[in-house]
């Protein structure tokens, strides 16, 4: 009787399952995760009269391609030779010859916002990323918190049968959530990527990067002359793809490679830099003319395009001294070597996929830059980018003294702003300037085996980075979900580019697009664009500027590719209409309030933090790699550090507590047994306070007190104590006002990045018994 009842129940389950109108494992389900099917076996009294039924695994749609998404950093429209630039990119060109070039593709003008828009298919303010993570503010469009209502393309692909992995620069986790305490739901592995290897911040040292694997900090290489981050990232990507294809060859992969290149620091192997020796002696004005001519010859800009003039804020090359020309030409040689090396390494990845026989079955989307070329090096370039962010001036004499070291581990370098302008040929302006195409127009290459019939073709439809996610989903045959993990989804705001693959003359389907970054703003609508550049320059800190006084410009880009002819005075009605449209779009997408502050927003105290509201901290050995957003904020205030140690008979040395590294920071350590405090003011000045005597054998308490004089970036007096007896005193004349580090961390008992002073080598772990370190803010 029991067996009969069980069989009837099993039959009932089967009938119910057959009555379902759509497959339970449909890859196009609008609700994720996909609901598992009902049990389709039979349950008897024992296994002998039962029938098992494993749930079928979720599989991607039939013929769904692999996807390789490549994103370079800070590369302008006119830098890669594939689009007419002076820097040889043969591997990019080889890919373009198998696919399509897009010459009206746009980004947001800055790093984190472009990445958020790229991975979600929504506008950057719509997903809380109106600015980079390090400048977040407490307004809906600027928190840098990706909402769960905007699932990433990686999450959607993963739940539809793909394997997913990300390599390189992330820059989409709030600054204050990047420590070992998490939370981790906004790290790559919490946002759809099954594997991550790269760095979380905005930039990193290419020779000694701040690496993360999944959610664990990875020790950077130490004294390895053959190491470079780009090579490391590509090695890991190749290894992951090979492993994935070996184990699950029928399962498509989604690989996202976002290099740190070519964002500052411009670090490149010396041999690659030497390839470009003398190639830029003609200067930026002539280079721009040469690039413009090549662009027309290649056909990547229309024959009637005009070359826009140099901004008055940038000097003419011929106005410079021979010494200045020597410095700046070499800065560009270093950058060129960096981009050339990057092309070579990404070529290795493309070749590895080809060797697996998977390249023709891989949709490759290669975005050459997340914004325009960067002018953040200012009007001299810099040996140390942290000087720029902390408004510490750098003279050409200082750069000249380090000229031979540019690109090496000894520098954190950036080039002159005018090279960035030359790199955005034929457009106006650069990175950060979202009002003009120099900040937002980037080359895009799409290749997909025989799915692209017009191989080597050009596409000129107007598109934006929010269009990449819907392109991937359409190519994979996956419907954009309306619900993911129990959360209703925001509408995807992008437009797929698939319609352009077979129809070069198709009218643009992306009809309207706003732009805004740090107060620079524009609105595109059906062939016209209105633009208002805010007067702060990319290398400046906050300035006192009135948004109401910004001058609006008007361009008909169907006839004026490079925005060369301002029609505002001739067509004020059109301009007024577009200005109203911008305000409408700004309100719709959380762009307001407009905010042009820069230096103030670097202040970590303006955002949530695990350290916020605390004045007393206790750390134990092993607490390392704490990013600045989660560490105690010692800037612009008094503080005291106390270390409880036990010194062996043969003395001890090593780091007790440190923050930052070679390019800015401080360290409290023992050198030859002597307590030492060293302050590194962005490599401009170093202040050393050291005890004349060693710490005695046995238990001791070591203390450093700093009495701050007040103000921003001011100095103070430091005092060293051993067992409550003062042993040394010194003055620190100036301090870092805004940001100690971009990728270096706060470490206890060792130094995990670059050394604050070159008299020791990292990790310089403490060789005595460090019991704890206490820190008190005053």
Q: What is the pLDDT of residues 65-88, one digit of tens each?
A: 999 999 999 999 999 999 999 999
What mean pLDDT is predicted for residues 368-390? 95
Does domain 68-586 fall under CATH 1.10.260.40? My reply is no
Please give the pLDDT value at position 28.
67
In the sheet with 211-213, reading across from the earlier edge strand, the strands are 216-218, 211-213, 195-199, 163-169, 253-258, 66-71, 362-367, 444-447, 100-102, 457-459
Residue 260 has pLDDT above 80, yes or no: yes
Please give the pLDDT value at position 220.
79
- Gyration radius from the chain CA atoms: 28
Domain boundaries, the chain: 68-586, 609-777
Calculate the CA dihedral of residues 136, 141, 144, 147 and round it to 10 degrees: 150
Q: 284: closest CA among 241, 249, 320?
A: 320
* Distance, C-alpha 416 to centroid of its chain: 21
Continuous segment of H or E residues that includes residue 171: none
| Average pLDDT of every residue of the chain | 94
**Which CATH class, in words, describes the domain spanning 609-777?**
mainly beta
Distance separating alpha carbons of residues 412 and 203, to the nearest angstrom = 10
The pair of three-digit structure tokens given for residue 168, joined into one six-digit string: 């390189």
What mean pLDDT is predicted for residues 482-507? 98
Of the ranges 357-366, 716-725, 749-758, which one carries the lowest mean pLDDT score? 749-758
What mean pLDDT is predicted for residues 548-561? 98
To the nearest whole percent, how much of the chain has pLDDT over 90? 89
The pair of three-digit structure tokens given for residue 47, joined into one six-digit string: 């296994």
Please give the pLDDT value at position 426.
98
Do residues 654 and 676 make contact, with C-beta atoms less than 8 angstroms apart? no
DSSP per-residue string spanning 679-724 = EEETTTEEEEEE-SSPPPSEEEEEEEEEEE-SSSS--EEEEEEETT
Cα distances (Å, whole numbers) of residue 202 to 244, 251, 652, 680: 29, 32, 37, 22
Q: 555: closest CA among 585, 533, 539, 583?
A: 533
Q: 321: closest CA among 283, 278, 289?
A: 283
Q: What is the pLDDT of residues 677-707, one digit of tens each?
A: 999 999 999 999 999 999 999 999 999 999 9
Distance in Å from the first CA to the final CA of the chain: 80
CB-based contacts of 738: which residues, under 8 Å, 6+ apart?
389, 390, 391, 599, 602, 603, 635, 713
What mean pLDDT is predicted for residues 408-414? 97
3-state class of 777 per DSSP?
strand
Tokens 């800015």 belong to 664
Please give the pLDDT value at position 13.
35
Residue 23 has pLDDT above 80, yes or no: no
Q: What is the pLDDT of residues 292-332, one digit of tens each?
A: 999 999 999 999 999 999 999 999 999 999 999 999 999 99
Tokens 């699950």 belong to 248
Q: 474: closest CA among 75, 160, 15, 42?
A: 160
**Please, which pLDDT band fits residue 186 given cuts at 50, 70 and 90?**
very high
Q: What is the pLDDT of residues 109-161, one digit of tens each?
A: 999 999 999 999 999 999 999 999 999 999 999 999 999 999 999 999 999 99
Residue 367 has pLDDT above 70, yes or no: yes
Left if phi > 0, otherwise alpha if psi is -120 to 50, otherwise beta: which for 97? alpha
**Please, which pLDDT band fits residue 16 given cuts at 50, 70 and 90?**
very low
Residue 435 has pLDDT above 50, yes or no: yes
What mean pLDDT is predicted for residues 725-746? 95
Residue 22 has pLDDT above 80, yes or no: no
What residues are paired with 700 via a beta bridge?
Answer: 645
Tokens 């701050």 belong to 708
Do 68-586 and 609-777 share a fold? no
Q: Which residue has the higher pLDDT, 25 or 532?
A: 532
**Please, which pLDDT band fits residue 11 given cuts at 50, 70 and 90?**
very low
Please give the pLDDT value at position 223.
75
**Please, which pLDDT band fits residue 395 given cuts at 50, 70 and 90?**
confident
Tokens 């389709």 belong to 40
Residue 556 main-chain phi, psi, to 5 deg: -100, 95
What mean pLDDT is predicted for residues 228-237? 98
In the sheet with 31-32, reading across from the earlier edge strand, the strands are 31-32, 483-484, 487-488
Continuous segment of H or E residues that includes residue 99: none
Distance separating alpha carbons of residues 587 and 382, to the nearest angstrom = 38
Distance separating alpha carbons of residues 74 and 145, to the nearest angstrom = 23
Residue 243 has pLDDT above 90, yes or no: yes
């Amino acid at each position: 009787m029991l067996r009969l009842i069980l069989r009837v129940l099993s039959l009932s389950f089967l009938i119910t399952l057959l009555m379902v109108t759509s497959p339970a494992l449909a890859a196009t389900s609008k609700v994720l995760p996909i609901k598992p099917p009902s049990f389709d076996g039979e349950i008897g009294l024992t296994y002998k009269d039962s029938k098992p039924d494993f749930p079928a695994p979720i599989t991607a749609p039939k013929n769904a391609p692999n996807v390789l998404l490549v994103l370079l950093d800070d590369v302008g429209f006119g830098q890669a030779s594939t689009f007419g630039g002076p820097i040889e990119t043969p591997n990019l060109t080889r890919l373009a010859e198998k696919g399509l070039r897009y010459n009206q593709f746009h980004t947001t003008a800055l790093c984190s916002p472009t990445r958020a828009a790229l991975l979600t298919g929504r506008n950057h303010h719509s997903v809380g990323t109106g600015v980079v993570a390090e400048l977040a503010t407490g307004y809906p469009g600027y928190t840098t918190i990706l909402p769960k209502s905007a699932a990433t393309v990686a999450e959607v692909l993963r739940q539809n049968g793909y394997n997913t992995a990300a390599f390189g620069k992330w820059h989409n986790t709030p600054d204050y959530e990047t420590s070992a305490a998490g939370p981790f739901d906004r790290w790559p592995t919490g946002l759809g990527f099954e594997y991550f290897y790269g760095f979380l911040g905005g930039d990193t040292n290419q020779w000694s990067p701040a690496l993360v694997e999944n959610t664990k900090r990875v020790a950077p290489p130490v004294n390895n002359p053959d190491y470079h981050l780009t090579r490391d990232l590509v090695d890991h990507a190749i290894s992951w793809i090979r492993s994935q294809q070996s184990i699950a060859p029928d399962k498509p992969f989604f690989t996202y490679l976002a290099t740190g290149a070519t964002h500052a620091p411009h670090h490149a192997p010396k041999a690659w830099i030497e390839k470009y020796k003398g190639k830029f002696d003609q200067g930026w004005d002539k280079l721009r003319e040469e690039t413009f001519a090549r662009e027309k010859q290649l056909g990547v800009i229309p024959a009637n395009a005009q070359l826009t003039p140099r901004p008055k804020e940038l000097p003419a090359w011929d106005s410079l001294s021979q010494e200045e020309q020597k410095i700046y030409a070499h800065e560009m040689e270093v950058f060129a070597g960096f981009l050339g090396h990057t092309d070579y390494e990404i070529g290795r990845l493309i070749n590895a996929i080809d060797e697996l026989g998977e390249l023709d079955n891989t949709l490759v989307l290669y975005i050459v830059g997340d914004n325009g070329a960067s002018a953040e090096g200012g009007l001299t370039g810099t040996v140390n980018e942290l000087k720029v962010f902390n408004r510490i001036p750098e003279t050409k004499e200082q750069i000249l003294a380090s000229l031979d070291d540019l690109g090496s581990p000894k520098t954190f370098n950036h080039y002159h702003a005018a090279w960035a302008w030359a790199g955005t040929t034929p457009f106006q302006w650069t990175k950060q300037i979202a009002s003009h195409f120099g900040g937002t127009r980037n080359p895009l290459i799409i290749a997909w085996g025989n799915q692209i019939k017009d191989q080597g073709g050009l596409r000129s439809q107007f598109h934006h980075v929010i269009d990449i996610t819907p392109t991937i989903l359409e190519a994979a045959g996956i419907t954009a979900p309306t619900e993911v993990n129990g959360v209703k989804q925001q509408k995807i705001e992008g437009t797929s580019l698939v319609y352009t693959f077979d129809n070069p003359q198709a009218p643009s389907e992306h009809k309207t697009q706003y732009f805004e970054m740090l107060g620079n703003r524009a609105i595109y609508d059906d062939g016209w664009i209105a633009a208002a550049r805010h007067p702060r320059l990319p290398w400046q800190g906050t300035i006192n500027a009135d948004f109401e006084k910004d001058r609006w410009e008007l361009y008909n880009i169907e006839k004026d590719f490079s925005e060369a002819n301002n029609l505002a005075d001739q067509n004020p009605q059109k301009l007024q209409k577009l200005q109203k449209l911008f305000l409408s779009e700004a309100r719709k997408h959380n762009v307001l309030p407009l905010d042009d502050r820069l230096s103030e927003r670097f202040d970590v105290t303006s955002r949530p933090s695990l350290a916020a509201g605390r004045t007393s901290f206790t750390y134990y050995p092993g607490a390392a790699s704490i990013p600045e957003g989660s560490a105690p904020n010692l800037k612009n205030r008094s503080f005291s550090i106390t270390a409880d140690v036990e010194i062996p008979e043969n003395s001890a040395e090593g780091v007790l507590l440190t923050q930052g590294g070679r390019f800015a920071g401080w360290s409290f350590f023992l050198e030859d047994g002597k307590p030492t405090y060293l302050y590194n003011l962005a490599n401009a000045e170093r202040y050393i306070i050291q005890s004349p005597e060693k710490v005695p054998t046995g238990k001791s308490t070591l203390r450093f007190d700093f009495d701050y004089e007040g103000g921003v970036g001011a100095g103070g007096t430091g005092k060293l104590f051993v067992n409550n007896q003062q042993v040394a005193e010194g003055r620190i004349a100036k301090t870092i006002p805004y940001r100690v580090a971009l990728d270096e961390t706060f470490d206890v008992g060792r130094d995990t990045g670059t050394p604050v002073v070159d008299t020791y080598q990292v990790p310089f772990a403490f060789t005595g018994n460090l019991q704890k370190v206490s820190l008190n803010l005053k």
